[in-house]
């Protein structure tokens, strides 16, 4: 819902708070960058020889890129005029408190870490580390229980997917020993 | 072939022990996942996409259908017992269901919801059997310009009918189209947005996009705003209904499907609008006006039946035209693509075993859903107490399996995380996720149809509007786009009078 905010005059020292209030402009910047990227990629494409038919591989990217630029501008106008995207709600979502960036960063780090470890250590180990690390990041501090649950979940999932469903996951040195 | 004989053959497929097992697993897994807070039907199906690498298509789709219906019922259970609906379709269930649970009538609310789902699903699937072959028959002759028109309609409908801000819907659509562009151009082999990377030349797999947007994006979003001390569920016993309850609700169960089914079939947000319409209808028709807002059982029965029937309507459009009208249908379409099967008018001719087996399994699934969920309700209620760190850690864990299973590439996990962060940002700034996923899935196909249509007409744009069908579709699109302006004009005129 775009709810128009009541026209508060910007405070003198309020440049930062103005930016915070209008952080959605960041979305516009991202859309602009994306649009520029798509357009450049399309226009630098070498199409003369491969073009078959009137619409070549360039047409749709050009339209999408241009569309991104237009939408970025329109969204910026909407945001400056006071329009706001409504943050998504959910069972476990409490929007009354500010976003907890530490948790999000921790989770991102844990996820990347497990992605790096999946090939050298195998899925059972990297998956268990992912589960435990994520649970830790989300505030679980049961050091007796958490690693045990993580290891069980990871081993069971590995068995089900790798052996029963035929989805290959690397076993790593651990499964070589077992 | 006659629809009834085909359906009987379908039952032959659906009732084999192995397919019965998949249906039961789907229903149980779907309900369990639906009950879990934070996981909706779309995320449930997205997380289970990797099983398509190991299963036969029939088994996989029977399981997905079970998950779809099960997860919708599970979502309503959460709504009734927690009063914090996870997805928009379950909002209405909380309005009367939660007051009922608070006043000690939770068992009746769950029973009304379960039987409502059963009734709505049954009627909806009967309508599906009656209508789908006819729609497929009508659509069999449509060509490239018509397909392109339908896909444009889908894009416009998901961006402008749903959600409250069209510009944000459009932004989401364009993000999806951009993701769909990555890779080799299907007609000329040109590299687009690959930046010279070999991995990107194959394009970004739909599974990774679906899991990233629905699972990683959601988990990160919830993590940023995790409620301290999750809400306490209301304890509940075995669902049952007294004779008086049944007398009050049977008409609501019967009316629901006729509101739900048509809305499921058109791209208008699946169960969200029909559940609300059914609620309003039941309220108007009820003889117990004083109970509304405090726990009127009709307000649970009608909307739940409508929700379940809307899922059947969704399947009509998806199977006959290949158009996803809801997020779940979009993810199921991705599963079809994994198998190299193209849903559409020809599906009924090319894959009769699959389609009719799937439809028959819906009936089987509905019976299983009712038979399992009534006795298991107290167990489901316990799931609501799962510690949230484990729940969201589990989502990330299964999401990483899903992405890695696509091709055994670590780079896929990194792409998954990036798409997940995009999904996080979209939730933060109110960009709806559905247009993006629909664009990723339909975008490349729409481009192909467009280019094919223009090749046939030798570049003349008139080739796009050369058939009565496409002209009709474009007329509908114009109406959709003009609707807010028309509405404004009408209200202004009224205000002047």
Question: Is A96 a domain residue?
Answer: no
Percentage of chain A modeled with pLDDT above 70: 86
One domain for residues A110 and A75: no
**Residue A93 belongs to some domain of the structure:** no
pLDDT at A72 over 80: yes
Q: How confident is the model at residue A106 (pLDDT cuts 50, 70, 90)?
A: very high
Nearest CA in chain A to B458: A54
Residue A75 to residue B171, Cβ atoms within 8 A: yes
Q: Which of B21-25, B126-130, B324-328, B412-416 has the lowest mean pLDDT?
A: B324-328
User: For position B306, what pLDDT does the model report?
Assistant: 92
Q: Which residues of A touch B389 (CB under 8 A)?
A: 134-136, 138-140
- The average pLDDT across B352-358 equals 89
Q: Which of B188, B225, B414 has its CB closest to that of A56? A: B188
Cβ–Cβ contact B396 with A under 8 A: yes
- Residue B162 — pLDDT band, cuts 50, 70, 90? low
Residues of B in contact with A29 (CB under 8 A): none
Q: For A137, which residue in chain B has the nearest alpha carbon? A: B389
Using the 8-state DSSP alphabet, how is residue B297 labeled? T
Q: Which residues of A touch B190 (CB under 8 A)?
A: 45-47, 50, 57
Q: What angle do CA B136, B206, B18 make, to 5 degrees?
A: 65
The percentage of residues in chain A with a pLDDT greater than 90, rounded to a whole number, is 39
Beta carbons of B319 and B271 less than 8 angstroms apart: no
The owner of tokens 């149809």 is B449
Looking at beta carbons, which residues of chain B come within 8 Å of A48? none
If you measure CA to CA, which chain A residue comes closest to B386? A92
Confidence of residue B196 (pLDDT cuts 50, 70, 90): confident
Compare all CA atoms of chain A with the CA of B398 and give the residue at the minimum distance.
Answer: A157
Tell me if A92 is assigned to some domain: no
- What residues of A are in contact with residue B167 (Cβ under 8 Å)? 71, 74-75, 78
Over 50: is that where the pLDDT of A1 sits?
Answer: no
- The pLDDT value recorded for residue A52 is 53
Is A135–B188 a contact, with Cβ atoms under 8 angstroms apart? no
Interchain CB distance below 8 Å, B389 and A71 = no
CB contact under 8 A, A103 and B224: yes
Q: What pairs with residue B184 in β-bridges?
A: B191
Residue corresponding to tokens 């997380």: B47
Residue A1 inside a domain? The answer is no
Do A24 and A71 fall within a single domain? yes
Q: What is the pLDDT of residue B86?
A: 58
3-state secondary structure chain A: CCCCCCCCCCCCCCHHHHHHHCCCHHHHHHHHHHHHHHHHHHHCCCCCCCCCCCCCCCHHHHHHHHHHHHHHHHHHHHHHCCCCCCCCCCCCECCCCCCCHHHHHHHHHHHHHHHHHHHHHCHHHHHHHHHHHHHHHCCCCCCCCHHHHHHHHHHHHHHHHHHHCCCCCCCHHHHHHC
Partner-chain contact B396 A130, CB within 8 Å: yes
Question: How many residues appear in chain B?
Answer: 497
| Confidence band for A5, pLDDT divided at 50, 70 and 90 | very low
- Percent residues over pLDDT 90 in chain B: 13
Examine the pLDDT at B184 and tell me if it is beyond 80: yes
| Residue B269 main-chain phi, psi, to 5 deg | 95, 15
What Å distances lie between residue B494 and B283, B481, B484, B485, B489, CA to CA? 27, 22, 15, 14, 9
> Which of A30, A93, A133 is most worth mutating to test chain B (most B CB atoms within 10 A of its CB)?
A93
The ipTM estimated for the assembled molecules is: 0.88
Query: Maximum Cα–Cα distance for chain B, whole Å?
Result: 69
* Candidate from A88, A116, A137 with C-beta closest to B427: A88
Chain B residues in contact with A143 by the CB 8 A cut-off are none
- What is the rounded CA–CA span in Å between residue A23 and residue B84? 28
> Which whole number is the average pLDDT over B389-413?
88
What is the distance in angstroms between the Cα of A46 and the nearest Cα belonging to chain B? 8
Query: Is B220 in the A-facing interface, judged by CB distances under 8 Å?
Result: yes
Answer whether B390 sits within 8 Å of A71, measured CB to CB.
Answer: no
Q: What band does A140 get if pLDDT is binned at 50, 70 and 90?
A: confident
**B431 contacts chain A (CB < 8 A):** yes
Percent of chain B, pLDDT > 70?
96
Domain, as residue range, for A67? 15-80
Q: Is B164 on the interface with A (CB under 8 A)?
A: yes
Say what the pLDDT of residue A114 is.
Answer: 93
CB contact under 8 A, B394 and A168: no
Contacts with A, B 254-313, CB within 8 Å: none
Would you say residue A35 lies in a domain? Answer: yes
Q: Across residues B371-391, what is the average pLDDT? A: 84
List chain A residues with CB under 8 Å of B37.
Answer: 90-92
Comparing CB atoms, the residue among A56, A130, A164 nearest residue B397 is A130
CA distance B41 to B328: 6
Q: What is the DSSP letter of B183?
A: E
Q: Which residue of A has its CA nearest to B450?
A: A55
pLDDT band, residue A12 (cuts 50/70/90): low
* Best residue of A68, A88, A116, A171 to probe chain B, by most B CBs closer than 10 Å: A88
Residue B182's alpha-carbon distances to A39, B170, B289, B308, B412, in angstroms, are 13, 19, 56, 36, 14
Quick one: A72 and A116 in the same domain? no
* Number of compact structural domains in chain A: 2
Please say whether the beta carbons of B427 and B218 come within 8 A. Answer: yes
Interface A–B counts its CB contacts (< 8 A) at 249
Q: Are residues A108 and A143 in the same domain?
A: yes
Mean pLDDT for the stretch of residues B326-349: 85
Is B190's CB within 8 Å of A50's CB? Answer: yes
CA proximity to A57, closest of A48, A66, A69: A48
> CA angle B407-B45-A68, nearest 5°?
75
Mean pLDDT (whole number) for B334-345: 84
B267 within 8 A of B160, measured Cβ to Cβ: no
* CB-closest option in A54, A127, A138 to B392: A138
Question: What average pLDDT is seen over chain A?
Answer: 83
Tell me phi and psi for residue B341, to 5 degrees.
Answer: -100, 130
What pLDDT is recorded for position A49?
Answer: 55
Residue B398: pLDDT above 70? yes
Closest-approach residue (CA) in chain A for B196: A41
Residue A94 in any domain: the answer is no
Query: Which pLDDT score, from 0 to 100, does residue A2 have?
Result: 43
Within a domain: A7: no
Average confidence (pLDDT) over A160-164: 82
Q: For chain A, what's the residue count?
A: 178
From chain B, the residues in CB contact with A123 under 8 A are 401, 404
Rounded CA separation B39/B42 (Å): 8
Chain A: give the shortest CA distance to residue B167, in Å. 6
CA distances from A92 to B234, B299, B359, B394 (A): 16, 25, 35, 15
Q: Which of A24, A92, A126, A145 to mutate to probe the B interface, most B CBs <10 Å?
A: A92
pLDDT at A8 over 50: no
Residue A64 sits in the same domain as residue A109: no
What mean pLDDT, rounded, does chain B reach? Answer: 85
Last residue in a domain, options A80, A111, A132: A80
**A117 lies in the same domain as A70:** no
């Amino acid at each position: 819902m775009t709810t128009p905010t009541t026209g508060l005059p910007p405070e003198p020292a309020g440049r930062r708070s103005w930016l915070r209030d209008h952080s959605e402009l960041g979305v516009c910047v991202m859309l602009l960058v994306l649009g520029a990227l798509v357009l450049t990629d399309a226009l630098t494409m070498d199409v003369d020889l491969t073009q078959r038919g009137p619409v070549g591989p360039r047409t749709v990217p050009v339209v999408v890129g241009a569309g991104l630029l237009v939408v970025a501008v329109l969204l910026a106008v909407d945001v400056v005029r006071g329009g706001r995207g409504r943050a998504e709600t959910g069972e476990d979502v409490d929007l009354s408190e500010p976003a907890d960036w530490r948790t999000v960063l921790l989770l991102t780090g844990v996820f990347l870490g497990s992605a790096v470890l999946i090939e050298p250590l195998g899925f059972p180990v990297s998956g268990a580390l992912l589960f435990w690390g994520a649970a830790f990041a989300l505030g679980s501090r049961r050091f007796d229980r958490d690693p045990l649950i993580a290891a069980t979940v990871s081993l069971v999932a590995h068995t089900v997917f790798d052996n029963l469903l035929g989805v290959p996951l690397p076993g790593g040195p651990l499964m070589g020993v077992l | 072939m006659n629809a009834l004989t085909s359906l009987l053959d379908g039952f032959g497929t659906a009732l084999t022990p192995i397919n019965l097992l998949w249906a039961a697993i789907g229903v149980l897994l779907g309900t369990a996942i639906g009950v879990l807070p934070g996981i909706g039907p779309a995320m449930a199906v997205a997380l289970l996409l990797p099983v398509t690498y190991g299963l036969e298509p029939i088994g996989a789709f029977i399981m997905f259908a079970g998950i779809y219906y099960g997860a919708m019922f599970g979502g309503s259970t959460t709504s009734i017992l927690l009063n914090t609906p996870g997805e928009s379709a379950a909002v209405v269930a909380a309005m009367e269901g939660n007051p009922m649970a608070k006043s000690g009538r939770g068992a009746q609310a769950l029973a009304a919801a379960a039987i409502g789902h059963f009734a709505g699903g049954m009627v909806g699937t009967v309508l599906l059997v009656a209508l789908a072959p006819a729609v497929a028959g009508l659509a069999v002759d449509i060509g490239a310009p018509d397909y392109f028109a339908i896909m444009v309609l889908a894009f416009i409908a998901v961006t402008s009918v749903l959600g409250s801000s069209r510009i944000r819907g459009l932004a989401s659509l364009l993000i999806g189209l951009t993701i769909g562009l990555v890779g080799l151009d299907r007609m000329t082999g040109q590299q687009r947005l690959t930046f010279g990377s070999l991995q990107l030349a194959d394009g970004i797999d739909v599974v990774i996009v679906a899991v990233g947007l629905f699972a990683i994006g959601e988990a990160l979003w919830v993590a940023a705003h995790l409620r301290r001390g999750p809400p306490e569920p209301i304890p509940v016993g075995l669902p049952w209904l007294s004779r008086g309850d049944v007398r009050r609700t049977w008409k609501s169960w019967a009316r629901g499907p006729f509101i739900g089914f048509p809305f499921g079939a058109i791209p208008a947000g699946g169960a969200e609008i029909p559940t609300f319409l059914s609620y309003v209808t039941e309220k108007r028709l009820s003889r117990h006006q004083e109970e509304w807002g405090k726990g009127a059982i009709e307000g649970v029965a009608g909307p739940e039946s409508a929700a379940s029937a809307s899922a059947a309507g969704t399947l009509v459009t998806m199977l006959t035209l290949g158009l996803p009208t809801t997020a779940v249908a979009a993810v199921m379409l991705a599963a079809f693509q994994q198998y190299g099967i193209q849903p559409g008018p020809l599906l009924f001719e090319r894959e009769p075993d699959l389609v009719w087996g799937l439809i028959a399994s819906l009936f089987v699934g509905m019976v299983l859903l009712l038979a399992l969920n009534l006795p298991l309700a107290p167990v489901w209620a316990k799931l609501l107490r799962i510690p949230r760190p484990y729940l969201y850690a589990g989502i990330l864990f299964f999401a990483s399996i899903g992405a890695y299973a696509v091709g055994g590439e670590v780079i896929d996990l990194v792409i998954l995380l990036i798409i997940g962060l995009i999904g996080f940002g979209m939730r933060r700034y109110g960009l709806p996720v559905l247009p993006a996923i629909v664009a990723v899935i339909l975008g490349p196909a729409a481009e192909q149809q467009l280019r094919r249509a223009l090749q046939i007409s030798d570049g003349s744009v008139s080739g796009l509007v050369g058939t009565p069908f496409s002209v009709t579709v474009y007329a509908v699109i114009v109406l959709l786009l003009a609707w807010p302006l028309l509405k404004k004009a009408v209200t202004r005129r009224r205000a002047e009078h």
